[in-house]
């Protein structure tokens, strides 16, 4: 059984295999910040967010900062998001209003 790990904003951050309960037969352990509901296929430029009340997923457009952060992480670069945002604002790549989106 696969489980889908979520961050504090309920955004998908990873996938792993659930462990079986050592106490109950055919029961799997699901951490608090995870779900066993599979997410929809990823759409380019969007993030997948889980709604615990409806037990369903939605996709939202990522901000410019989130897209840049993801690209840097894929390249294995460590990131200080506050520093990055300040640089992007200074270079007029984004505005302060972009941060509110």
User: Is the same domain home to 6 and 24?
Assistant: yes
pLDDT tens digits for 81-100?
A: 777 788 888 888 888 777 76
pLDDT tens digits for 59-72?
A: 999 988 788 778 87
Per-residue pLDDT band at 78 (split at 50, 70, 90): low
Identify the residue with better confidence: 46 or 94: 46
Per-residue pLDDT at 64: 80
**Domain extent for 71:** 64-100
User: Is the same domain home to 9 and 57?
Assistant: yes
Cα separation of 51 and 58, whole Å? 8
The pTM is what?
0.70
Structural domain count, the chain: 2
């Amino acid at each position: 059984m696969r489980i889908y790990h979520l961050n504090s904003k309920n955004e998908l951050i990873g996938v792993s295999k659930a462990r079986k309960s050592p106490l109950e037969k055919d029961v799997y352990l699901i951490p608090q910040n995870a779900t066993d509901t599979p997410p929809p296929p990823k759409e380019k430029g969007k993030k997948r967010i889980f709604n615990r009340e409806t037990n369903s997923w939605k996709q939202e457009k990522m901000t410019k900062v989130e897209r840049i952060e993801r690209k840097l992480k894929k390249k294995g670069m460590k990131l200080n998001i506050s520093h990055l945002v300040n640089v992007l604002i200074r270079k007029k790549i984004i505005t302060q209003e972009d941060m509110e989106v």
